Chains A and B, each alone.
Chain A
Amino acid sequence: MNVLVVLAGILFLLMTLIGGRKGVRSFFALFFNFAVIIITVILMNDPNVDPVILTLIACVLISCINLFYINGVNSKTKTAFLSTIICIVILLLFIIFITNKAMIQGFGEEEIGEIGAFSLLVEVDFIKIAVSVIIMSTIGAITDTAIAVSSPMREIHYHHPNISRKDLFLSGLSIGRDILGTSTNTLFFAFFGGYLALLIWFKDLSYSVGEIVNSKIFSSEMITIFCAGIGVTLVIPITTWITAYFFVRNKETKEKIT
C-alpha cells in the first residue's frame, strides 16, 4: 500500500467522522486545490503566459474553493473573499519588488547538484515563478484568517444589530489581534518544519552567518516567511474594514427601503 493513499484514507475517515458533510467537503477541497495547483503549473510551462496573472487567477479559484465550496455562499464568505483578493493584490506588488531586488528566483548553489542533469534554459521567467511561489504558499493562511475574522464579526452584528460601524470595526480588530499570534505561529512552524533539513545542512557544513544570510536559499525562505506573515497580518484590518462597511451599509439601505 502506498503511504500517501493510506494517509489520505485516514484523513478522509477522520474528517467524515468529526466533520460530517462539511468534513467531506473539506477533504474534497484539498483535492480541488491540488488540481488547481497542478493545472496552474502546467499552464506556466507556456512561456507566453504571464505566471503572475496565472497565479492571480489560481488564487481567485482557490479562495472560491476554500470559502464558497466549504462554507457556502453567504455574507461572511463574500466579505472574506473580497478581502482575500485585495490583500493578495497589495502583497503581490510588494513581493514583485522584493524578488526583483533580492534576486531569489530559481535554484540556489546548494540545489544545483541534483538538477544538474537538466537543461536550465527553459524560456520560463523564473523571477515571476518565484513571485507565484510566495503568493501560493500564503493563500491558504490568508483565506483562513479572513474567514476567521469575518465569521465572528457577523455573529456580533447578528446579536447587536444596532452596533455602529466604528464599534463593529473595533471589535473585529480585537478578534483579529487575538488570532494574529496563532496564525503567524502556524505559518512559522509549517515553514521551519519544511526547512529543517536545510537548517541542519547549514549547521553541519558550518556556514558563517554572512554566508547563510546572503545565500539564495536561506534568503528566499526567509522572504517567504516574512511575506506570509505580512499577508496574514494585513488581511486582518482589510477584512475588518470591509466587513464593517458591508454589514452596516446593508442595514442603512434596509432602513431606507422600509
Chain B
Amino acid sequence: MNFVGSIYKKMNSKHKIFLIILLCCFIGSVIFVFNNHSFYDQPIGKVVKTTIEDVTKVNDINGNEDAVYTQHIIAELLNGEEKGKEIHLTNEYSESKAYDHEFEIGNELFIKIDQQVEEGAELTGTIQEVKRDKYLMMIAWVFIFVLLIVGKRQGLFSFISLVFNAVLLSYALDIYIHNSSQSLLWICGISVILFTVISLLLANGLNEKTYAAIIATLLGTFISLLITYLVLLVTGEKGLRYEEMQFITRPYRMVFMAGLFLGSLGAVMDVAITMSSSIFGLYEKNNNISVKALIKSGMEIGKDIMGTMTNILFFAYVSGSIPTLILYFKNAAPFGYTLSLTLSLELARALAGGIGIVLTIPIGLYTTLFFVNRKRARR
C-alpha cells in the first residue's frame, strides 16, 4: 500500500484527476455489468443447483466416442415479472462441447420461459444464450490497464485511436447498409483514408514523418489491392471457395475484397511508419548523410521487418479456422478438400496482405526520401 501511495504522491494533479476518472469508470462499469439484468427484455436466470440426470455413450460412424450428459438445472430468475422465482431447465451437453455448454452454479443464462399449463405449477423454460457481457467488460478493462501501465501516454493514444477506428468502422457500415446503391469498396476506400490519417496522427503527431507514412500507407494499400484485384480477374478466381465464407447477407465478393482491404491496412501502416521514422531518425542524427546510405539502411530495416510482419497477418487469419478444420477431419473429410475449402480465403487474405507489406517497404523508403530531400533543400 505504501508503494501505491508513493506513486500517487509523485503524480501531478492532471494525472491524479485522470486516474480518479478512470477508476470511477472502471468501478461504475463493473457494477453496471454485474447488475444490468433489468435492462434486458429477455429473462435471465442464475443457476443455483445442477444435477446430472443421465449419461449416454455415443459412437458415430467415424469411430468417435463421446458422451452426452443431461443436466437438470434450477435457476433463479433475476429480472422480469417472475423475478425471484425458481425455474427448472434441462440442458444437454457433450464431452467435446463443440456446440453446447456445461453449466455450473453461478452461471447466468438467457432463458425463454415456457407457457404455464396450469396455475401454480413450477416454471420451466429453455436456455437460449449465456450472459457473457461481464467477461467481455472484464477483459476490456484488463487490456486498458495493461495498455496504460506499459504504454502510459502512448498507450492512452493507441486506445483512443482503437476506439475511434471502431466507431468509424461501425458508422461506415451503417452508411453502407442504408444506401445499398453505394459500393462497399468506395465506402471502404474513403474510410481507409480516414483510418490511416487518424491512426498515424495519433501515434506520431503532426510532423513530416507522419505525412510520409500516410502517403506511403495509402499508396501501398491501393497498389496491393489493385494487384490482388488483377490476379482475381486474370485467374477467374479459380481456387477461391466462397461457399465457405461465413455470415453472408450481401454480395460476397465485395465483402471479401473490402475485408482484405481493411485487414492489410494495419500491417501496411506499421511498415510505413517504421520505415519513415527510422529513416528520419538517421537523417536527424547526421544531417549530411548521403541518399545512397539512407537507401541502403532503409532496405536493411525493411528486410528485418518483412518476415515477422507477414507472419502476423498469417497467424491472425489462419488460426480462426482451427476448430472447423478439426471438425472436418473428425468427420473423415478428405485432407485436400478440407484444406482448400476452409483455408482458401484466409490464405488469399494473408498472401495479399503480405504483398502489401513487402511493397510498402520500397514505397515507404522513397516517399520518406522525398520528404527528407525537401527538408534538406529548405535548410
Query: Are A186 and B312 in contact, CB atoms less than 8 angstroms apart?
Result: yes
Q: Which of B19-27, B91-99, B115-123, B367-375 binds A?
A: B91-99
Does B162 interact with chain A (Cβ within 8 Å)?
Answer: yes
Query: Which chain B residues border A139 with CB–CB below 8 Å?
Result: 315
The one of B131, B264, B303, B350 in contact with A22, judged by C-beta atoms closer than 8 angstroms, is B303
Does A182 interact with chain B (Cβ within 8 Å)?
Answer: yes
The 8 A CB mask of A85-117 against B (1 = contact, 0 = none) is 000000000100010011111110111101100
The one of A3, A106, A123, A222 in contact with B232, judged by C-beta atoms closer than 8 angstroms, is A3
Does A170 interact with chain B (Cβ within 8 Å)?
Answer: no
Query: Are A125 and B316 in contact, CB atoms less than 8 angstroms apart?
Result: no
The one of A8, A103, A177, A201 in contact with B155, judged by C-beta atoms closer than 8 angstroms, is A177
Query: Are B322 and A133 in contact, CB atoms less than 8 angstroms apart?
Result: yes
Contact A103-B130, Cβ < 8 Å, known A185-B199, A185-B269, A197-B247: yes
Does A79 interact with chain B (Cβ within 8 Å)?
Answer: no
The one of B60, B142, B227, B248 in contact with A230, judged by C-beta atoms closer than 8 angstroms, is B142
- Complex Cα distance, B39 from A44, in Å, reads 41
Query: Are B161 and A181 in contact, CB atoms less than 8 angstroms apart?
Result: yes
- Complex Cα distance, B314 from A190, in Å, reads 10
Query: Are B202 and A181 in contact, CB atoms less than 8 angstroms apart?
Result: yes
Q: Which of A161-169, A210-218, A245-253 binds B?
A: A210-218
Does B359 interact with chain A (Cβ within 8 Å)?
Answer: yes
The one of B97, B157, B244, B317 in contact with A125, judged by C-beta atoms closer than 8 angstroms, is B97
> Which residue from chain A places its CB closest to the CB of B138 in the assembled complex?
A98
Does B235 interact with chain A (Cβ within 8 Å)?
Answer: yes
Query: Which chain A residues border B248 with CB–CB below 8 Å?
Result: 197, 201
Query: Are B323 and A223 in contact, CB atoms less than 8 angstroms apart?
Result: no
Query: Are B329 and A42 in contact, CB atoms less than 8 angstroms apart?
Result: yes
B250 CB, min distance to chain A CBs, angstroms: 6
Query: Are B311 and A121 in contact, CB atoms less than 8 angstroms apart?
Result: no
Does B344 interact with chain A (Cβ within 8 Å)?
Answer: yes
The one of A115, A144, A224, A229 in contact with B312, judged by C-beta atoms closer than 8 angstroms, is A144
Give the contacts of A18-72 with B (CB-CB under 8 A): 18-20, 22-23, 25-26, 29-30, 33-34, 37-38, 41-42, 44-45, 62, 66, 70-71
- Complex Cα distance, B139 from A233, in Å, reads 14
Query: Are B130 and A189 in contact, CB atoms less than 8 angstroms apart?
Result: no
Beyond A18-B358, A44-B326, A126-B323, list 13 extra A-B contacts (CB 8 Å): A3-B235, A19-B302, A30-B310, A37-B322, A66-B311, A101-B135, A120-B99, A125-B96, A144-B312, A180-B147, A194-B320, A200-B177, A200-B255
Interface residues of A (CB under 8 A from B): 1-8, 10-11, 14-15, 18-20, 22-23, 25-26, 29-30, 33-34, 37-38, 41-42, 44-45, 62, 66, 70-71, 94, 98, 101-107, 109-112, 114-115, 118-127, 129-130, 132-134, 136-141, 143-144, 147-148, 151, 173, 176-201, 203-205, 210, 213-216, 219, 222-224, 226-230, 233-234, 236-237
Interface residues of B (CB under 8 A from A): 39-40, 42, 58, 60-62, 64-66, 68, 94-99, 101, 110, 129-133, 135-136, 138-140, 142-143, 146-147, 150-155, 157-158, 161-162, 165-166, 169-170, 173-174, 176-177, 195, 199, 202-203, 227-228, 231-232, 234-235, 237-240, 244-250, 252, 255-256, 258-267, 269-270, 273-274, 277, 299, 302-320, 322-331, 339, 344, 346-355, 358-359, 361-362
